[in-house]
Amino acid sequence: MSSKQLMSGAEIFIESLKKEKVDTIFAYPGGVVLNIFDFLYKQKDIRYILPRHEQGAIHAADGYARSTGRVGVALVTSGPGATNTVTGIATAYMDSIPLVIFTGQVPTALIGNDAFQEADIVGITRPCTKYNYLVKDVNDLAQTIKEAFYIASTGRPGPVLIDLPRDVVTSRAEFHYPDKVKIRSYNPTVEGNKRQIKQAADAIAAAKKPVCYIGGGVILANAADQIREFAEITKIPVTHTLMGIGGFPGTHPLSLGMLGMHGTYYANLSIHNSDLIIAIGARFDDRVTGKVEGFAPGAKIIHIDVDPTSIRKNVRVDIPVVGDVKHVMTELNKELRASKEPWDAIRKSWLRQIDAWREERPLSYEQDDEVIKPQFVIEKLYEVTGGDAIIVTDVGQHQMWAAQYYKFDNPRMWCTSGGLGTMGYGFPAAMGAKVAHPDKHVFSISGDGSIQMNIQELATTIENNIPVKVVILNNRFLGMVRQWQELFYQERYSSVDLGSVPDFVKVAEAYSAVGLRATKPEEVVPVLKEAMKIKRTVFMDFVVARYEKVFPMVPAGASIHEMIFGEEKKMEEKKLKAVK
Amino acid sequence: MKHIISVLVENKFGVLSRVSGLFSGRGFNIETISIGPTLDPSVSQMTIVTTGDERILEQIVKQLNKLIDVIKVTDFADKEFVEREMCLIKVNAPQEHRSEALRTADIFRARVVDSTQKSYTFQVTGDEKKIDAFIELLKPMGIKEIVRTGKVAITRD
Ligand SMILES: Cc1ncc(C[n+]2csc(CCOP(=O)(O)OP(=O)(O)O)c2C)c(N)n1
Ligand SMILES: [Mg+2]
């Protein structure tokens, strides 16, 4: 043994986090992790924030990760502490968000004994983590942490969990933090295949009606600049998924906005009529494709993704390119620039067609003088913030309106639970984003249903001075579910009326936060402006039109060009009334 | 379509459940799975027999490759290979049927590994067809128990 000092597992944990340059963790204590909290108490380098629920801890780490591109970190105790993280972990997993989650575990000798607060969290999270570890020997701890950060942040990113039995935390070992990791069975592809990139370039040059379709992979790979370059070289219009928001400037003339179930008319029609789709960092989710058999019937498909399993999982692909999106796009752009095609001329008629669709049916809603329209709140939020706020959402109609009506010109300004669709994600994730960006305005756009799923984090934001501005689009409904019941279940409103929602202004005040309310359209801007000035967490209760629906909408099972719109529904209603 | 896939994995705690969890979680079939050590004690070898069309098989291979603990995946579809399975079969063998049972076993080169007054236990090795055929022939005598190892396969050079 060398003369090096021995460290306890708890100290190794902290020193390893420092080596990873972790500045903040979200941590909730309990029996088996007391030693770690004791050492956290004795150090100054890592900020550790106590959420009010372990689910909040994971979403906060997730918001931190999405808004920065760095790995988010959380620490919880064994048993219920660990099981409370599962929804948060699954949320991050579905959206490929890099997290490292530490869970306490009962001492190794007791594992499998149904000991107090024992849960097989490694077993429970196996299908919703990129990888997970049970550390059985303190001598493996530093190496394990190094690997976890490496796996979480490379290739297709994702959450990695490390289960720490109590005796591993208390026993001692020498501390060596490895500089590098090499895992023989894990080698993500970075460079794309040159021949396939060339093939892609040729197909792009030959296409008459191409559309570029980008997903969250563009954000994860920090490839927004390369996408913009690609679009500007080739004059190819770009549509994004819910996760791809910010991957291409929303105000760019070539932006088609979002596609899919609540995509724009012109994005969906462009895809449907295209002869070439260039899918980048996207995975052809069913919310995007609609009925797969009817998806883009005349199009060749180029699919660029870091994860080979995404390719040909849901749709046929003609030219696959596996690799890091940023690398591949850089190479592809080189090819395209060299090809010197008369891009403007080639693209003219296709862009003219798309402009006609744009004019035919822009995103729209009917304004009202008396009642606040939820879309109006989002439009005003965009104006008041100048598009320069981080927007985090919950799940429901408000999420779709935020995606449709706020324009994002930059990546990592938008955090939403796309894959899992987790209500309750927004507020704690916004808290995490705000911790990472103290100088930026961070808004959480929530529904009256969703906000109640992690409302306890009000205390965390006040206690730790993390001012988050929460826009509650209060329709007193589980609105998205109600919309489906209205359209497809003959208005049988089963378990969607939230009737006596709490007084959100008073709730905010009870936690020493600020509550504001707007009930009329003219109050919207003043409330937003006031909230921007307040240096505390604010709940803004916008009492909005209860029966508003999200349009366009592709009904389940339909192809994406078969959209329904608000006016049609209204016309039907008028006809019905006339008959009666 | 039946496929044989050979998977080299890290010999680590939990690997089997990662692989089987992948199959169950994604609705892929496992017909048989067998696992054993390799010359390198840190590596285990799995042989999985699965069914599915080409698209599903492509996904299975890709998804297996994506598992962090998987070192190498070989799909035997386009390879020359030898496959073997072993089976232990306990059959009724009262006095009047004993010699017939032995004759049948002889044809299949099965060995008697246990014998009582009323039964024989045979060990038979071969490909799936051979084992199935042997079982069919023994059925009329009354099979008491069957244990099969699942397939192992190796490529030809
Ligand atoms: C945890 C969770 N439970 C249930 C659902 C199903 N769900 C999707 S949207 C929605 C309604 C959300 O209501 P609210 O937050 O008020 O938003 P609104 O649609 O009214 O804007 C529900 C229940 C979900 N996505 N997440
Ligand atoms: Mg609501």
Quote the CA–CA distance of A531 and A525 in Å, as a whole number. Answer: 10
A523 SS3 class: helix
Q: Is A127 in Cβ contact with B70 (below 8 Å)?
A: no
Confidence of residue A238 (pLDDT cuts 50, 70, 90): very high
Could you report the predicted ipTM of this complex, rounded to two decimals?
0.90
pLDDT in tens, A313-348: 999 999 999 999 999 999 999 999 999 899 999 999
Percentage of chain A modeled with pLDDT above 70 = 97
Q: In what order do the strands lie in the sheet with B32-37?
A: B32-37, B43-51, B2-10, B70-75
Q: Which helix or strand (DSSP H or E) is residue B48 part of? A: strand B43-51
Reported pTM:
0.95
Q: Which helix or strand (DSSP H or E) is residue A335 part of? A: helix A325-339
Q: Of the ranges A376-385, A391-400, A514-523, A553-562, which one carries the lowest mean pLDDT score?
A: A553-562
Separation of CA A249 from chain center: 17
Q: How close A530 comes to chain B (CA, Å)?
A: 49
pLDDT on residue A203: 98
Residue A1 has pLDDT above 50, yes or no: no
Quote the CA–CA distance of A158 and A405 in Å, as a whole number. Answer: 29
Q: How close A122 comes to chain B (CA, Å)?
A: 9
CB A76 within 8 A of CB A82: yes
pLDDT in tens, B128-156: 999 999 999 999 999 999 999 999 999 99
pLDDT in tens, A463-495: 999 999 999 999 999 999 999 999 999 999 999
Helix boundaries (H) for A386-520: 397-405, 426-436, 457-463, 479-488, 504-510
Tokens 């592709």 -> residue: A554
A127 touches B: beta carbon within 8 Å: yes
Quote the CA–CA distance of A444 and A394 in Å, as a whole number. Answer: 8
B63 touches A: beta carbon within 8 Å: yes
Q: Separation of A286 CA from ligand 2 center, angstroms?
A: 24
Distances in whole angstroms, Cα of residue A139 to Cα of each of A111, A230, A284, A367, A565: 19, 48, 43, 65, 62
Mean pLDDT over residues A497-526, rounded? 97
Q: What is the 3-state secondary structure (H, E, C) of B3-16?
A: EEEEEEEECCCCHH
Phi first, then psi, for residue A225 (nearest 5°) are: -65, -40
From chain A, the residues in CB contact with B62 under 8 A are 308-309
pLDDT in tens, A5-33: 899 999 999 999 999 999 999 999 999 99
Identify which of A29, A166, A23 has the alpha carbon closest to the alpha carbon of residue A105.
A166
Q: In what order do the strands lie in the sheet with A469-474?
A: A414-415, A389-393, A441-447, A469-474, A538-543, A514-518
Quote the CA–CA distance of A367 and A135 in Å, as a whole number. Answer: 58
pLDDT in tens, A218-237: 999 999 999 999 999 999 99
Average model confidence (pLDDT) across chain A:
96
Residues whose CB falls within 8 Å of the CB of residue A255, separated by 6 or more in sequence, listed in order: A237, A238, A239, A240, A248, A249
pLDDT on residue B40: 97
Q: Is B14 in Cβ contact with A122 (below 8 Å)?
A: yes
For the record, the structure tokens of B70 come out as 């998987």
For the record, the structure tokens of A412 come out as 């990592």
pLDDT in tens, A292-312: 999 999 999 999 999 999 999
Quote the CA–CA distance of A158 and B117 in Å, as a whole number. Answer: 61
Q: Are strands B152-155 and A172-174 parallel, antiparallel or unpaired?
A: unpaired
- Residue B89 burial (CB < 10 Å; 0-12/13-18/19+)? buried
Q: Of the ranges A68-72, A278-282, A565-569, B114-118, which one carries the lowest mean pLDDT score?
A: A565-569
CB A299 within 8 A of CB A275: yes
Quote the CA–CA distance of A530 and B99 in Å, as a whole number. Answer: 97
Helix boundaries (H) for A95-193: 121-125, 141-153, 166-170
For the record, the structure tokens of B155 come out as 């490529």
Q: Separation of A472 CA from ligand 1 center, angstroms?
A: 13
pLDDT on residue A5: 85
Q: Are strands A159-165 and A210-214 parallel, antiparallel or unpaired?
A: unpaired
Q: Note which residues in 67-106 of chain B have CB less than 8 A from chain A.
A: 68-71
Please list every protein residue whose CB sits less than 6 Å from any atom of ligand 1: A 394-398, 421-424, 447-450, 473, 475, 477-481
Q: Separation of A543 CA from ligand 1 center, angstroms?
A: 17
Phi first, then psi, for residue A68 (nearest 5°) are: -115, -25
A134 touches B: beta carbon within 8 Å: yes
Residues whose CB falls within 8 Å of the CB of residue B27, separated by 6 or more in sequence, listed in order: none
For the record, the structure tokens of A21 come out as 């340059």
Residues whose CB falls within 8 Å of the CB of residue A438, separated by 6 or more in sequence, listed in order: none
B58 touches A: beta carbon within 8 Å: yes
- Asked whether the CA dihedral B42, B46, B52, B58 is positive or negative, the reply is positive
pLDDT on residue B157: 86
- Which residues in chain B land under pLDDT 70? none
Confidence of residue A580 (pLDDT cuts 50, 70, 90): very low
The total of other beta-carbon atoms located within 10 Å of residue A324's CB is: 25
Separation of CA A441 from chain center: 18
pLDDT in tens, A248-282: 999 999 999 999 999 999 999 999 999 999 999 99
B10 touches A: beta carbon within 8 Å: yes
Residue A110 has pLDDT above 90, yes or no: yes
Confidence of residue A572 (pLDDT cuts 50, 70, 90): low
Q: Which helix or strand (DSSP H or E) is residue A312 part of? A: none
Quote the CA–CA distance of B11 and B42 in Å, as a whole number. Answer: 5
Quote the CA–CA distance of A8 and A33 in Å, as a whole number. Answer: 13
From chain A, the residues in CB contact with B59 under 8 A are 309, 312-313
Identity (one letter) of the amino acid at A398? H
For the record, the structure tokens of A478 come out as 């589980």
Query: Which residue of chain B is at minimal alpha-carbon distance from A316?
Result: B55
Identity (one letter) of the amino acid at A209? K
Quote the CA–CA distance of A571 and A568 in Å, as a whole number. Answer: 5
pLDDT in tens, A384-404: 999 999 999 999 999 999 999
Provide DSSP, A383-417: HHHTT-EEEEE-SSHHHHHHHHHS---STTSEE--
Give me the count of residues in chain B: 157
Identify which of A137, A146, A132 has the alpha carbon closest to the alpha carbon of residue A178.
A146
The total of other beta-carbon atoms located within 10 Å of residue A117's CB is: 16
